[in-house]
A = this chain, B = another copy of it.
């Protein structure tokens, strides 16, 4: 495994990003530093970083991959299709969900890769429907 300048660049861009970033955004961030950045290299670097466990990815409400540096607690994401809001899935719910799937056939849910879309409480009450 080689520590190349382009990998350094991606790691820097990642740590400089709070929360979640899509690969395309990362390409941009890297380009801000080094305009010669190549997309394929960034995509491939993200793959290795994930194999190394340094980052994890989930999917936005639209299915697009979103990366985030490995956080303290593994967590999934919740998206409101009405207001566009997004939240991390709380420990409590996460446990309930994991348990629900584990109970049936021993299915082990990959929490950090879990994306749940729906309508948040606020929108549900407001929008009626």
Decide: A119 and B114 in contact? CB cutoff 8 A. Answer: no
Question: How many residues on the A side are at the interface (Cβ–Cβ under 8 A)?
Answer: 35
Decide: A119 and B108 in contact? CB cutoff 8 A. Answer: yes
Q: How many monomers of this protein are in the complex? A: 2
Say if the beta carbon of A120 comes within 8 Å of chain B: yes
Say if the beta carbon of A125 comes within 8 Å of chain B: yes
Alpha-carbon distance A104/B121, docked complex (angstroms): 9
Q: Which residues of chain A in 31-66 are interfacial with respect to chain B, using CB atoms and an 8 Å cutoff? A: 59, 63-65
Say if the beta carbon of A84 comes within 8 Å of chain B: no
Say if the beta carbon of A21 comes within 8 Å of chain B: no
- Tell me the minimal C-beta distance from A117 to chain B in angstroms: 5
* Residue from the list B99, B101, B118 in contact with A109, Cβ < 8 A: B118
Decide: B93 and A100 in contact? CB cutoff 8 A. Answer: yes
Contacts of A100 in B (CB 8 A): 92-93, 96-97, 100
Alpha-carbon distance A72/B92, docked complex (angstroms): 31
Say if the beta carbon of A16 comes within 8 Å of chain B: no
